[in-house]
């Protein structure tokens, strides 16, 4: 037995016995294992348990979440993932007339036309109810050479979505991609322009590159077998250019995938 005045080291150095109901008795042993200094421990915890801060800013009406992942080899280098909910997409591209029976509508081709300006429009597609669309940037922070302030460098960009009312989407690492051009099957965006890495803060870096994302022309290089799905999802009135509801069940037109980068940062807004 020990009294309450004993310090922890004295308590664990005393014998500890466990007696079972069948009469067996065992002695517990304690051991000390070196875990390194506190900075090493903090780094390992951060590596295995990404820390996410939700709703720390708003860009274009969408909330921004930031996940801190890990320190890199050199001092003062940290990786982040900034995830922003997008309310719309902008299509500046050629559109084609789709005819199904008596129904007609406009759908983006994600093709610039290379000088052919016929049927070229700039239209906004508002994310429909029941769908949540996100853009995620992987960002490295490091100190400038003069050590006076941080600089931010974007590594990758991902465009991904989930069905808001689908438990299988909400409770799993599974994501979906819209049937657009410029996006690989793992949701990585093929950026036509170099990222803007000249901003002074993480949020301004995110904001500037979302603006760049919206201004970058689309192309059809990665559309491949998604064309039929694109025709069903992106529909505009042929006379007024007003956005029309998707044709059929939305989830049937969205490809599923699991992205190791998104899983690494535990991205699940």
pLDDT digit string, tens, across residues 142-170:
776 666 677 889 999 999 999 887 666 66
What gap in Å lies between CA 195 and CA 188, rounded to an integer?
A: 14
Characterize the bridge pairing of strands 243-244 and 103-108: unpaired
Q: Which pLDDT does position 113 carry in this prediction?
A: 59
3-state DSSP call for residue 17? strand
CB 263 within 8 A of CB 159: no
CB 118 within 8 A of CB 95: no
Close Cβ partners of 241 (under 8 Å, ≥ 6 residues apart)? 106, 121, 123
CA-nearest of 108, 118, 63, 110 to 85 is 63
Q: Which pLDDT does position 1 carry in this prediction?
A: 46
Domain boundaries, the chain: 37-264
Q: What is the mean pLDDT of residues 185-193?
A: 85
3-state DSSP call for residue 250? helix
Q: Which pLDDT does position 123 carry in this prediction?
A: 93
What gap in Å lies between CA 63 and CA 83, rounded to an integer?
A: 8
Q: Which pLDDT does position 63 carry in this prediction?
A: 87
Query: Whole-number mean pLDDT of the chain?
Result: 82
Alpha helices (H) along the chain = 8-12, 38-48, 167-170, 202-215, 227-233, 260-264
130-154 core/surface letters (b: 16 or more CB in 10 A; e: else) = ebbbbbbbbbbbeeeeeeeebebeb
- pLDDT tens figures, 44-86: 655 556 677 778 788 888 888 888 766 555 544 678 889 999 9
What gap in Å lies between CA 227 and CA 180, rounded to an integer?
A: 8
Q: Which pLDDT does position 165 carry in this prediction?
A: 73
**Residue 220 C-beta-side C-alpha neighbours within 13 Å:** 17
Q: 99 pLDDT exceeds 90? A: yes
Q: What is the mean pLDDT of residues 101-122?
A: 81
Close Cβ partners of 220 (under 8 Å, ≥ 6 residues apart)? 109, 110, 111, 181
Q: 96 pLDDT exceeds 90? A: yes
Of the candidate ranges 22-26, 110-114, 123-127, 181-185, the one whose mean pLDDT is the lowest:
110-114
CB 207 within 8 A of CB 59: yes
What gap in Å lies between CA 4 and CA 84, rounded to an integer?
A: 52
Q: What is the mean pLDDT of residues 214-223?
A: 84
């Amino acid at each position: 037995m020990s009294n309450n005045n004993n310090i922890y080291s004295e308590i664990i150095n005393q014998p500890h016995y466990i007696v079972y109901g069948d009469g067996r008795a065992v002695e517990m042993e304690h051991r000390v294992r070196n875990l390194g200094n506190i900075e090493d421990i903090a780094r390992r915890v951060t590596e295995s348990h990404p820390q996410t801060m939700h709703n720390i800013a708003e860009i274009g009406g969408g909330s921004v979440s930031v996940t801190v992942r890990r320190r890199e080899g050199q001092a003062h280098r940290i990786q982040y993932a900034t995830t922003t909910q997008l309310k719309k997409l902008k299509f500046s591209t050629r559109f084609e007339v789709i005819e199904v029976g008596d129904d007609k509508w406009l759908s983006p081709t994600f093709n610039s036309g290379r000088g052919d300006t016929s049927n070229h429009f700039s239209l906004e597609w508002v994310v429909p109810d029941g769908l949540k669309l996100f853009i995620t940037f992987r960002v490295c922070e490091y100190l400038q050479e003069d050590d006076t302030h941080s600089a931010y460098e974007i590594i990758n960009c991902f465009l991904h979505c989930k069905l808001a009312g689908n438990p299988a989407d909400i409770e799993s690492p599974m994501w979906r991609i819209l049937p657009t051009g410029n996006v690989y099957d793992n949701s990585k965006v093929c950026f036509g322009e170099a990222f803007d890495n000249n901003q002074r803060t993480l949020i301004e870096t995110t904001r500037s590159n979302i603006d760049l994302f919206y201004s970058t022309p689309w192309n059809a290089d990665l559309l491949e077998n998604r064309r039929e799905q694109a025709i069903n999802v992106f529909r505009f009135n042929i006379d007024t250019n007003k956005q029309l509801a998707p044709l059929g069940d939305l989830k049937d037109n969205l490809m599923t995938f699991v992205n190791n980068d998104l899983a690494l940062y535990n991205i699940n807004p």
